[in-house]
Amino acid sequence: MTIAEIKQNIRDIKDFPIEGIIFKDLTTAFKNPDCMKFFEDNMYDLYKNKGITKIIGIESRGFIMAPILGNRLGVGFVPIRKKGKLPANVMEVSYEKEYGIDTIQIHKDALNENDIVLIHDDLLATGGTMKAACELVKKFNVKKIYLNFIVELDFLEGTKNFDKDINVSSLIHY
């Protein structure tokens, strides 16, 4: 499967979640087993030799590929969720998104200083959510952080939000 074929499986939804936004909907790619295999194989190849010990998925679409990749890498999965969704003691960060303010949380016992972490989300737009996720993960003083996206909207320059020592990779660019 090629990048062009993958892009044909991603639909645009105008004015979602608010007017003026063109939302890249990956659910249409997720239902295609060839796309899923492409995502899994390519992400595995990127990270198989990085010493990853935990993979974090960001709610909600980051929960789709992160556990799949975690299973393939033989590492644990950690969720970052919206406020009020995790049952134990949490740390949280609030941040501004393109269309409002949001808060994300992680369990206080999710990581430790020996972890090498891959944080995954489906799409990088302006980078606000992932920047907040990085802030949360840095509180654990982990050894290394990698960031991964299936899709990156290059024109929004979201990668500018991340520290230079954090490796960022995206499979598909618009």
157 is catalytic: no
Catalogue the E-assigned strands of the chain: 11-14, 22-25, 54-58, 76-82, 90-97, 100-107, 116-124, 144-152, 167-173
- Choice among 61, 81, 152, 157 that is catalytic: 61
Is 72 part of the annotated catalytic residue set? no
Catalytic-labelled residue, pool 59, 98, 152, 157: 98
Task: Give, in order, the Cα–Cα distances in Å from 75 to each of 37, 59, 63, 89, 171.
Answer: 19, 19, 15, 23, 21
**Two structure tokens written together for 169:** 């990779």
Query: Rg of the Cα trace of the chain?
Result: 15
Measured CA to CA, the distance from residue 62 to residue 149 in angstroms comes to 9
State the catalytic residues: 61, 98
